[in-house]
Chain A
């Protein structure tokens, strides 16, 4: 959230999107819904518009949520 605040202050949609992607992994099936995450993703999507297609693709994918794998991709790939 701190990163998102900084991105907002800087007016950087791409950084806001990255903050949204890094904020929290998508919900695993059975996890309670998380309005703050959804709100941040929505805000980032609106901010990036069509300017950053790759980031937009990732935001959209995150919005869809891909339980049970979502949120674990990054960890696994880094591992």
Chain B
């Protein structure tokens, strides 16, 4: 459809038709198969934008480049494209685009392992999007906080789970295949193998039947590959391997959320290891390590190292197994924080002191203290981690948070977000209770240790001993079930859900 539109518009030279057709083509070129074309569309949009003096078209062009560079693993180019997009969005003064720029900055920060900065940007995006931005503005930033919490090794959060799995799946434009794959993974993390298998099966069958290779596909198939390994499904692992192989040089990216995972090569390496093809796995992991290192995607890099270590262990090369992980561990903190990152848009200020206290407490064998939630209407500085400081002039997401502008309510589907102040900037989520840096390797922990519980090779076990215990899944799995039972259909009717902005 979009190809025909562009073919018709091009000879006409009509700028409006070209604008519409290029925009449509850009949308249709999301996913892993048309990256070159997307970049070409971006260049054409840029030229048209200059000719027509259209900032919007210029911004679209940068959007095209941003996504394409992310898929290719060129984080530098992606960052530049996003900066240009953000400039154009700011100049246009359209909340929807400012929201996207802010949210995508959070995605990039998360890719780099700057978890606090990501949180700041997601909060700011939520504040920007509330009531003015696109429908997803109310769902995506809090939804993305769920895996963020997981990366910190923090407890499961039923409300976030409800948003991440419930609302994002229920959106008419659905992230459903990718989110459902995550749901299967979390089911597995929660120890509910039955749920993991059910959700895995639901998506895997669709992939085999030819699930469209759109913006969801790569992340979905990557997630399924991980699950095939965890669930011990060799047939599916082999099949998924074949599907991923053509994309070995790309990154696992959700092409709309712009959520960045590991290199596809790392997943291929993991599948190789699972299938006993160790030499091929080594090659894939070496490729993945080089790519992740060059990109500076630290979370992915740790994941790659952990997987590579497991492969080497499985191959019987114990001496080599410690090397890739320990090289990463020797860095001065996988996720060094800066004051500007820590403060972001919060009035609570840097958490360095709080971190230090918790670290001290942990080293002394104490439990991490739970932060008590301030009562509604109380001062934001009344929380347990309060350390009021001046707000930085320039938050890492580049957007000023409007938490002080009275945006303190977050309505949601009935029964889901009754605690409406939960998603304000200061008290959105209990992430202010951040884990000390050495405990933020929940991903490596879960990916590496859990699938082989009781059978973890000793060197790997030793490495994992330094990693915080996996915490997600301790809360009731019933919560999600209850949510699905009680959840009204989001956006099913006009005026139905206050979460839907049309």
Contact = CB atoms under 8 A, between A and B. Distances in A.
B16 A69 contact: no
A54 B173 contact: no
A69 B60 contact: yes
Contacts of A58: 5, 9, 16-17, 20-21
Contact of A29 (B12, B17, B256, B492): B256
Contact of B500 (A32, A56, A63, A70): A32
B23 interface: yes
A73 B94 CA distance: 11
B173 A31 contact: yes
Central interface residue in A58, A61, A65, A66, by most chain B CB within 10 Å: A61
A58 B2 CA distance: 10
Contacts, number: 116
A66 B17 contact: no
B1 A60 contact: yes
A25 to B, nearest CB: 10
B110 interface: no
Contact of A72 (B8, B28, B94): B94
Given A28-B135, A29-B136, A30-B139, A57 B20 contact: yes
Contact of A31 (B27, B54, B135): B135
A62 B21 CA distance: 8
B98 to A, nearest CB: 12
A64 interface: yes
B173 A30 contact: yes
Contacts of B96: 28, 68, 72
B92 interface: yes
B405 interface: no
B24 A60 contact: yes
Interface residues of A, number: 27
Given A29-B256, A30-B491, 14 more contacts: A28-B135, A29-B135, A29-B171, A32-B491, A57-B4, A58-B16, A58-B21, A60-B5, A61-B23, A63-B1, A64-B5, A67-B27, A69-B60, A73-B20
B172 A32 contact: yes
Contacts of B60: 69
Interface of A: 27-33, 53-54, 56-58, 60-70, 72-73, 76-77
Contact of A62 (B11, B20, B26, B500): B20
A18 to B, nearest CB: 12
A60 to B, nearest CB: 4
Contacts of A61: 2, 5, 9, 17, 20-21, 23-24
B19 A73 contact: yes
A29 to B, nearest CB: 4
A67 B172 CA distance: 12
A30 B136 contact: yes
A33 B502 CA distance: 11
Contact of A27 (B173, B492, B493): B173
B331 to A, nearest CB: 38
B56 interface: yes
Closest 7 CB pairs of A and B: A30-B135, A61-B20, A60-B5, A64-B24, A57-B8, A61-B24, A29-B173
B491 A31 contact: yes
B173 A56 contact: no
13 contacts: A30-B173, A32-B502, A53-B11, A54-B14, A58-B9, A60-B1, A61-B21, A62-B20, A64-B2, A66-B20, A68-B96, A69-B23, A72-B94
B383 interface: no
